[in-house]
Amino acid sequence: FAPWDDPTETPLIQFKGVTKRFGDFVAIDNLTQDIYAREFFALLGPSGCGKTTMMRMLAGFEAPSEGQILIAGTDMAHVPPNLRAVNMMFQSYALFPHLSVWDNIAFGLKRERHTKDAVSARVEEMLKLTRLEKFAKRKPHQISGGQRQRVALARSLAKAPKLLLLDEPLGALDKKLRQDTQFELMDIQEKTGTTFVIVTHDQEEAMTVASRVAVMDEGRIMQVSTPAQIYEAPNSVYVADFIGDVNIIEGTASPSVNGYEVRWAEGHAPLVAKASQVLREGQRISLAIRPEKVSISAEKPENSVNAIEGKIIDIAYLGNLSTYHVEVAGGIMVKAQTANTRRLSRRELTWEDKVWLNWTDTAAVVLEQ
């Protein structure tokens, strides 16, 4: 059982019907959501959807206009930020420039009543965890951006919060360093057992690090699931489109022996799809098909339930993969992505080529409109 599927597990965080208004503007709209201990939970969504507002309410910098937030079963309504077992790490890291790495990490601990030895031991432990032992004496301007990010993390974890909130923690790092740091972050999260809630607008990052991802839109959570579920079984066109690349083909469904037939373009054979839900005859639906599930070939494939003809308009070569943009009936663009493992031995498809696209009856997710 994952904790979110285990009915005996009590959530660490509970949002219960939480609404947050700024004047007339509804930033968070009647949101109910549980987050469990040791989860790495990602909030993902476009700018302005309410991610930071959710974090600020957890940290206690904002109060809900309606509803309740519970942490470890206690209503946080009258609990100030400093009395919550919550820490927040900001994108700017907010390190003290005049203090060494060691003193930056020790800063919060020194303000609490610990012995000198206890502070030292904890700082050493944090330096080890974040692999910063060698840099303890340096000032923030004498280390790299990635190292500064680790100092900020070490400092946020020094007081052993139950919950660490990370607002775009890797936003300042370049792509390669960012990817390496994602794995470090996962490793540190696992070692400390702290619950991490991360805000990011980078969907690849959310998918990489998180145990569960919440996709948000306009103050609401549209879907919460594991990265694989979100990708393979999005519950709406919005989520399908937000996570990764997807082809959307609209049509009208009719039940058939093989699942559903979907009429999508005048004068063209219907597409065939399996659906997890029951659809009415004539219901308008969208098919969501990931580009890597669409095969492309010069000749018409045999025995394919979904084969449509088109013309290559564009090719994006990505090294390991190529994405073909193919125009099919009705001017619809469909992307097909193929691995380039045998690229040199294969006859190359090129612009303006007439091609066939095909996919299996289980490749498309059927979404109601």
* Positions that interact with ligand ATP (CB under 6 A): 22, 25, 27, 45, 47-53, 201
Q: Could you give the angle at the alpha carbon of 46 between the alpha carbons of 40 and 47, nearest 5°?
A: 105
CA distances from 304 to 73, 185, 188, 298, 330 (A): 54, 44, 47, 14, 21
For ligand ATP, the closer of residues 45 and 234 by Cβ is 45
Residue 181: count of CB within 10 angstroms of its CB: 20
Nearer to ligand ATP, 39 or 168 (CB): 168
Least distance in Å: CB of 198 to ligand ATP? 12
To ligand ATP, the closest distance from the beta carbon of 167 in angstroms equals: 8
Residue in this structure with the two tokens 């579920």, named with its chain if needed = 229
The pair phi, psi for residue 251, each rounded to 5°, is -170, -170
Measured CA to CA, the distance from residue 359 to residue 290 in angstroms comes to: 10
User: Which of 52/286 has CB closer to ligand ATP?
Assistant: 52
Contact 172, 145 (CB under 8 A): yes
Report the nearest approach of ligand ATP to the CB of residue 52 (Å).
3
Question: Is 238 strand, coil or helix?
Answer: helix
Within a 10 A sphere around the Cβ of 154, how many other Cβ atoms?
Answer: 24
CB of 207 to ligand ATP, least distance (A): 17
- The distance of closest approach from Cβ of residue 62 to ligand ATP in the complex, given in angstroms and rounded to an integer, is 8
In the complex with ligand ATP, which residue's Cβ is closer, 205 or 261?
205
Whether the CB-CB separation of 368 and 280 falls below 8 Å is answered with: no
Residue 206 CB, nearest approach to ligand ATP (Å): 12
Q: How far is the CB of 6 from ligand ATP (least distance, A)?
A: 30
Which CB, 28 or 101, lies closer to ligand ATP? 28
In residues, how long is the chain?
369
Distance CA 337, CA 291 (A): 5
Closest CA to 336 of 361, 364, 315, 360: 315
Instruction: Report, in Å, the least distance between residue 69 CB and ligand ATP.
Output: 15
Residue 239 or 305: which CB sits closer to ligand ATP?
A: 239
CA distance 14 to 301: 51
Which one-letter amino acid corresponds to residue 258?
N
Q: Which is nearer to ligand ATP, 220 or 293 (CB)?
A: 220
Angle, CA 301 vertex, CA 298 and CA 303 arms, to 5°: 180
Tell me the residue type at 175.
Answer: K
Which pair of structure tokens corresponds to residue 77?
């309504």
CB nearer ligand ATP, residue 60 or residue 251? 60
Distance CA 100, CA 137 (A): 5
228 vs 306: CA distance, rounded Å: 24
**Shortest CB 133 distance to ligand ATP, Å:** 34
Residue nearer to ligand ATP on the CB measure, 17 or 193:
17
